[in-house]
Amino acid sequence: MFKNIKKSDVLITISLLCIVSILGYYYVNSLARAKLWVKSYPIRAELSARQITCSDNSPTWLTNILRYQTKSNNAPTNQIAYIDPTGKLYHCENGYVGQYPLISDNVTEYTRFRYASVTKLWTADAILSLVRDGNLSLDTKLADIITDINNPKDTRINDITIRQLLSHRAGFDRYSVFGQDMFGIGKDICPNHLQALNEITLGFTPDSKTSYSNLGYCLLGEVISRLNGDRSYAEIIEQQYHFVDTDLHFISNVAMDDEVFYNHVETGITGVANIYTAFDYKGLASAAGLSGNAVELAQQVHGMAAKPSPNILSIDKKEQCDFTKIAECYGYAMIPYQPKLDAPMVYYRDGSLLGLSSLVAIDKRGSVIALLSNGTPDNGIIGNNKVKMIIYDQLAKNE
């Protein structure tokens, strides 16, 4: 009965079985499917890099930065906005709103991205506004505002100042159990259990070193709330920065309708969820809770930088640090960088979440660059610093 079977039929049958087996394997094996998706990135990157749109007369170097982000920093979708020293605004975008190229809508200048830690600029600016208005001083003690601090077992907490919180020198070590509860690690202190500050031990004596802290900025958010009639931080910021006239919004653990897809897939058994479920965004409102687009980010930050001193570009005169190293120093809101004494100074503020990176750069002439990307570099800090140096070289060239 098998004599009439053709070899071609056998080959077709075997091929179909192989295809079905492969499809079945990837269907039931989510880890293998995720790894395959990651390996397909060069194809997706090439499609996205070919799809760049810009406003009229935009500098060509804006497109070069988008191509770099797409091909080298694992971000298929990006927005960049540039305000030049004369106040003119330019912007470029590339990629797709959804997960899949070609069948998804193209990103526009209005597409929403989460701002991650760039949100801290609003918190710092609001605090510095209180200082300029005489409602607060940089040397005000946190315990004078947050009265929940009444009998701390670590008495150094009584001496934490607003200045130290702004510059990440308040004693909260992000790598300790009490310093970083962004991922649900350690005790839930801020904003819901501030009395727990009486029970913790600081990671170091305030002002003895620098350690980046989301907890410190959450506490600054509570200071803003207490000095504004105990209204919520989000309500105060929305009103003070006129969100009603913008597309800026505080985020939650659910994607918004106009929000970009984030290029993150879990390829290992780590217990880390996606960008929506891994974080408590309500608790992170003052540290990483805002969203919008690159144009609005650049415009808002441009206004902050133009305010009288102390402003987001101010640096604590007491701080001794090396400006020639990126991320070596923290000002009151941004990181100053100056590769050598006779070189221009540029200020950075960046952030990242799962599948998301954000960056703002400002120079002393008032130029602002805002870059939002739906991915993070595979090589982490090295990749982020590389794009910072590209931006620095461009700003320095224009001086």
How far is residue 128's CA from residue 131's CA, in Å, rounded to a whole number? 5
How far is residue 235's CA from residue 229's CA, in Å, rounded to a whole number? 11
Selected residue with higher pLDDT from 119 and 44: 119
Residue range 251-302, pLDDT digits in tens: 998 999 999 999 876 655 554 567 888 788 888 899 999 999 999 999 999 9
How far is residue 231's CA from residue 212's CA, in Å, rounded to a whole number? 27
pLDDT given at position 190: 87
pLDDT band for 112, please (50, 70, 90 cuts).
Answer: very high
Residue range 191-204, pLDDT digits in tens: 888 999 999 899 89
Q: Can you read off the two tokens belonging to residue 20?
A: 């079905």
Cβ atoms of residues 333 and 341 within 8 Å: no
Q: Can you read off the two tokens belonging to residue 131?
A: 């200082």
> Phi and psi (nearest 5°) for 381?
-60, -35
Q: Is residue 370 scored above 80 in pLDDT? A: yes
Residue range 63-73, pLDDT digits in tens: 999 999 999 99
Average pLDDT, the chain: 86
Cβ atoms of residues 275 and 256 within 8 Å: no
pLDDT given at position 11: 59
pLDDT given at position 71: 92
How far is residue 322's CA from residue 342's CA, in Å, rounded to a whole number? 14
In the predicted model, what is the mean pLDDT of residues 76-105? Answer: 94
Which of 113, 118, 106, 224 shows the shortest CA–CA distance to 162?
A: 224
* Helix segments in the chain, DSSP class H: 7-28, 30-39, 41-49, 60-72, 120-132, 142-145, 162-166, 214-226, 233-240, 285-288, 294-305, 381-397
| Tokens 């703002």 -> residue | 360
Helix axes 233-240, 214-226, angle to 10 degrees: 80
How far is residue 86's CA from residue 367's CA, in Å, rounded to a whole number? 8
Q: Is residue 28 scored above 70 in pLDDT? A: no
pLDDT given at position 283: 85
Which of 277, 268, 292 shows the shortest CA–CA distance to 353?
A: 277
pLDDT above 70 coverage of the chain, percent: 84
pLDDT given at position 346: 96
pTM for the whole structure: 0.89
Q: What is the number of other CB atoms lying within 10 angstroms of the CB of residue 354? A: 20
